[in-house]
């Protein structure tokens, strides 16, 4: 039987994004630093859900359904904490039936507010808990470093980045900025 755990802290994720010029350049950096692919490149489709008044976006929370590597994952992320890294509560679970999950969320008043796609490759190094992911998106290529803050900082430095390069914004926020800069009129960050 399920039991709620009031007062229990949610697991947290800590990460940063780093803009890179190309997937090839990112691969060279990662290979030189001793990273190897832990999961091969795969297509990922994401749907963010929100209320009609965008309550989750306005409170910097996120509700997402992700299709990736033959699985659907439901994710909740809480508001990010202030700091040099993007740290926020995150809870994920696999969903057996994506359409049923979407129907349940729709029934609770949530609707798809933003869709985004990318190709993702995950990299790791032996003996390290943190990992790097290479995201190829319609608006550019990004490396995400996820792990403990000290690991992120030392790995970023090793790859040639400083905290001034850290991007803490979401793909939705980056997409809106990209559309403004390039005169795009699209609601979703998807491949043509």
pLDDT at 4 over 60: no
- Asked if residues 42 and 119 have their Cβ atoms less than 8 Å apart, the reply is yes
Q: How many CA atoms lie within 13 A of 44 on its CB side?
A: 22
Task: Provide the domain limits for residue 17.
Answer: 12-182
> Is 46 a member of any domain?
yes
d(CA 116, CA 55): 19
> Is 43 a member of any domain?
yes
pLDDT at 2 over 60: no
Q: What is the pLDDT of residues 77-113, one digit of tens each?
A: 999 999 999 999 999 999 999 999 999 999 999 999 9
- Asked if residues 76 and 90 have their Cβ atoms less than 8 Å apart, the reply is yes
| Residue 83 confidence (pLDDT) | 96
pLDDT at 16 over 70: yes
| Total structural domains within the chain | 1
Q: What is the pLDDT of residues 35-75, one digit of tens each?
A: 999 999 999 999 999 999 999 999 999 999 999 999 999 99
- Neighbouring C-beta atoms of residue 2, cutoff 10 Å: 4
| Residue 1 confidence (pLDDT) | 61
pLDDT at 134 over 70: yes
What do you get for the CA distance between the two ends of the chain, in Å? 46
> Is 23 a member of any domain?
yes
Q: What is the CATH number of the domain that holds 170?
A: 2.40.320.10
Question: Which of the 8 DSSP states describes residue 60?
Answer: T
> Is 75 a member of any domain?
yes
d(CA 54, CA 71): 27
> Is 3 a member of any domain?
no
- Quote the mean pLDDT of the chain: 96
């Amino acid at each position: 039987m399920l039991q709620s755990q009031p007062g229990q802290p949610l697991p947290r994720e800590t990460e940063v994004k780093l803009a890179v010029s190309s997937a090839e350049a990112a691969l060279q950096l990662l290979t030189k630093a001793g990273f190897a692919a832990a999961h091969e490149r795969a297509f990922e489709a994401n749907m963010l859900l929100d209320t009609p008044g965008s309550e989750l976006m306005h409170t910097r929370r996120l509700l997402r359904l992700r299709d990736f590597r033959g699985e659907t994952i439901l994710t909740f992320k809480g508001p990010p904490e202030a700091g040099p890294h993007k740290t926020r509560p995150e809870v994920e679970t696999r969903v057996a039936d994506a359409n049923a999950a979407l129907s349940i969320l729709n029934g609770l008043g949530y609707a798809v507010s933003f869709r985004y796609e990318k190709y993702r490759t995950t990299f790791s190094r032996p003996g390290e808990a943190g990992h790097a992911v290479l995201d190829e998106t319609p608006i550019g290529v990004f490396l995400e470093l996820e792990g403990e803050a000290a690991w992120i900082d030392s790995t970023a430095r090793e790859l040639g980045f400083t905290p001034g390069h850290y991007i803490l914004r979401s793909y939705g926020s980056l997409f809106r900025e990209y559309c403004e800069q390039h005169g795009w009129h699209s609601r979703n960050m998807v491949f043509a």
